[in-house]
Amino acid sequence: DVKVTQSSRYLVKRTGEKVFLECVQDMDHENMFWYRQDPGLGLRLIYFSYDVKMKEKGDIPEGYSVSREKKERFSLILESASTNQTSMYLCASSFSGTGVPNEAFFGQGTRLTVV
């Protein structure tokens, strides 16, 4: 079974703190993603990475950065947490290319609350 593991299930942080969310996958997937999910807004892509050290902005990258130093690990960084970043954060991974299954597999999610 594909396993995508996020480092925390729940986090509470203070405004202005630097926050690290970690994600590890064990399926040798090329692609890794960070989404946030808010009621009524659906899943919104923050950043994705298609290879080690490679990253691209998604739909809502402002206030976030990412790091991918190893293929299996993708980190999301909130440089200075704000209350409007309170959300459910979901990491996902998938294979790349055509002719292969491209479905994304999700981690269990991190519910982040910024106070």
Partner 1 sequence: QKEVEQNSGPLSVPEGAIASLNCTYSDRVSQSFFWYRQYSGKSPELIMSIYSNGDKEDGRFTAQLNKASQYVSLLIRDSQPSDSATYLCAVKSRGSNYKLTFGKGTLLTVNP
Which residues make up the interface to partner 1 (CB under 8 A)?
A: 30-31, 40-43, 45, 48, 50, 90, 94, 96-98, 101-109, 111
Task: Kindly tell me which of 15 and 102 has the beta carbon lying closer to partner 1.
Answer: 102
Task: Kindly tell me which of 43 and 77 has the beta carbon lying closer to partner 1.
Answer: 43
Task: Kindly tell me which of 41 and 52 has the beta carbon lying closer to partner 1.
Answer: 41
Q: How far apart are CA 53 and CA 94, in angstroms?
A: 17
> Minimal distance in Å, beta carbon 44 to partner 1?
9
> Minimal distance in Å, beta carbon 16 to partner 1?
28
Q: How far apart are CA 77 and CA 59, in angstroms?
A: 16
Is 79:15 a contact under the CB 8 Å cutoff?
no
Is 95:32 a contact under the CB 8 Å cutoff?
no
